[in-house]
Structure 1
Amino acid sequence: MAEYTLMNKNHPVVSFRYDRDIHAVVKVLDVHDLKYAPIALADQKGVVSRRALNDWWRRRAIPASRNQIQQLLDSLDIDSTLELAEENFGLSLSDRYWINDNRNPLRWKDINFFDNDFSDDLGMLTLGQESSGNPNLISPNSTLGGDLNKKWKIVDGKRILVKGGTGSTQQEVLNEIVATALYSRLLDKGDFVPYFLFEENGRIYSACENMLGPDEELVTAYDVISAGKKSNSMSDFDFLVESYKGLGLENVEESLSKMFTCDYILANQDRHWRNFGVIRNVETLEFTRLAPIFDNGTSLWCRAYNIAAEDSYIAKPFGPKGMSPDRQLSLFKEYGWFDGTRLEGFAQEARDILSKGNEGIQARLDIIEERIARNIGKVQVHVHDVSASRSVNLEQKRDRILQLPKQQDDISITEETR
Structure 2
Amino acid sequence: MLQYFLMHKDQECGILILDEQSGKIIKYQGNGNGMSPYLGTANIEKIRKWWELRAIPNSRFNKQTTDCNNAKAFLAKNLGLSITDTYWIKPVEVNLSFDDVKLTNSKSPFDPNVSLGGQMNKHWDLTQKIPTLVKESNSYFGQQCINEVFATMLHERQGTAIPFVRYTTSSVDSTQCKCFSQECKCNAFTFEHIEFVSAHEVLESQKTRNEQSLYDKFISICESNNIDVRDFMDYQIMTDFIINNTDRHFLNFGVLRDTSTMKLIGPAPIFDSGNSMFFNDDGKVVHTRVSILKQQISGFYKTEEKILKKVKNQNLVNANLLPIPSEVKEFYSNAGIPEEKSSVISKNYEIKLQLFSEFQKGKTISLYNERRK
What is the TM-score normalised by the length of structure 1?
0.77
Partner-residue secondary structure (3-state), 2:240: helix
Partner-residue secondary structure (3-state), 1:158: coil
For residues 333-380 of structure 1, give each alpha carbon's deviation from its aligned partner in whole angstroms, at most 9, with x where no partner exists. 21343322212x443333333223345x43211121122222123222
> Within the alignment, does 1:298 sit opposite 2:275 as a pair?
yes
Partner-residue secondary structure (3-state), 2:6: strand
Give, in angstroms, the shift of residue 97 of structure 1.
0.1
> Within the alignment, does 1:314 sit opposite 2:296 as a pair?
yes
Give, in angstroms, the shift of residue 385 of structure 1.
1.4
> Within the alignment, does 1:337 sit opposite 2:355 as a pair?
no
Asked if the contact 2:84/2:196 (under 8 Å) is kept, the reply is: yes
Q: How many residues align?
A: 351
Aligned residue number for residue 368 of structure 2: none
For residues 256-293 of structure 1, give each alpha carbon's deviation from its aligned partner in whole angstroms, at most 9, with x where no partner exists. 01111000110001001111101111211111111110
For residues 301-348 of structure 1, give each alpha carbon's deviation from its aligned partner in whole angstroms, at most 9, with x where no partner exists. 1112355166532123123xx12x2332232121343322212x4433
Aligned residue number for residue 93 of structure 1: 83
Give, in angstroms, the shift of residue 24 of structure 1.
2.1
Letter in 2 for 1:139: D
Give, in angstroms, the shift of residue 87 of structure 1.
2.1
Residues 91-130 of structure 1 mapped to structure 2, 5 A cutoff = 91-116=81-106
Q: Unpaired segments of 5 or more residues in structure 1?
A: 119-136, 387-418
Aligned residue number for residue 27 of structure 2: 27
RMSD: 2.4
In 2, the alpha carbon distance for the partners of 1:214 and 1:198 equals 27
Give, in angstroms, the shift of residue 187 of structure 1.
4.5
Identity of aligned residues (%): 24
Q: 1:267 aligns with which of 244, 248, 260?
A: 244
Aligned residue number for residue 12 of structure 1: 12
Residues 184-223 of structure 1 mapped to structure 2, 5 A cutoff = 184-188=156-160, 191-198=163-170, 204-223=182-201
Give, in angstroms, the shift of residue 85 of structure 1.
1.1
Asked if the contact 1:315/1:328 (under 8 Å) is kept, the reply is: no
> Within the alignment, does 1:384 sit opposite 2:356 as a pair?
no
Aligned residue number for residue 276 of structure 1: 253
Compared with structure 1, are the counterparts of its residues 271 and 8 closer, same or farther at alpha carbon in structure 2 (3 Å cutoff)? same
Partner-residue secondary structure (3-state), 2:150: helix
Residues 18-97 of structure 1 mapped to structure 2, 5 A cutoff = 18-28=18-28, 31-39=30-38, 42=41, 48-49=43-44, 51-66=45-60, 69=61, 72-76=62-66, 78-97=68-87
Runs of 4 or more consecutive aligned structure 1 residues displaced over 4 Å after TM superposition: none
> Within the alignment, does 1:249 sit opposite 2:227 as a pair?
yes
Compared with structure 1, are the counterparts of its residues 339 and 53 closer, same or farther at alpha carbon in structure 2 (3 Å cutoff)? closer
Q: 2:305 aligns with which of 326, 337, 341?
A: 326
Give, in angstroms, the shift of residue 203 of structure 1.
6.0
Give, in angstroms, the shift of residue 204 of structure 1.
3.9
Aligned residue number for residue 177 of structure 2: none
**Worse-matched range after superposition: 364-373 or 3-12:** 364-373
In 2, the alpha carbon distance for the partners of 1:339 and 1:188 equals 9
Give, in angstroms, the shift of residue 176 of structure 1.
0.4
Compared with structure 1, are the counterparts of its residues 355 and 106 closer, same or farther at alpha carbon in structure 2 (3 Å cutoff)? same
> Within the alignment, does 1:224 sit opposite 2:202 as a pair?
yes
Asked if the contact 2:256/2:268 (under 8 Å) is kept, the reply is: yes
Partner-residue secondary structure (3-state), 1:363: helix
Compared with structure 1, are the counterparts of its residues 289 and 39 closer, same or farther at alpha carbon in structure 2 (3 Å cutoff)? same
Q: 2:150 aligns with which of 175, 178, 182?
A: 178
Aligned residue number for residue 264 of structure 2: 287
Give, in angstroms, the shift of residue 164 of structure 1.
1.2
Give, in angstroms, the shift of residue 155 of structure 1.
4.0
Compared with structure 1, are the counterparts of its residues 99 and 152 closer, same or farther at alpha carbon in structure 2 (3 Å cutoff)? same
Give, in angstroms, the shift of residue 191 of structure 1.
1.3
**Worse-matched range after superposition: 212-221 or 253-262:** 212-221
Aligned residue number for residue 174 of structure 2: none
> Within the alignment, does 1:167 sit opposite 2:139 as a pair?
yes
Larger radius of gyration: 1
In 2, the alpha carbon distance for the partners of 1:147 and 1:79 equals 19
Asked if the contact 1:9/1:98 (under 8 Å) is kept, the reply is: yes
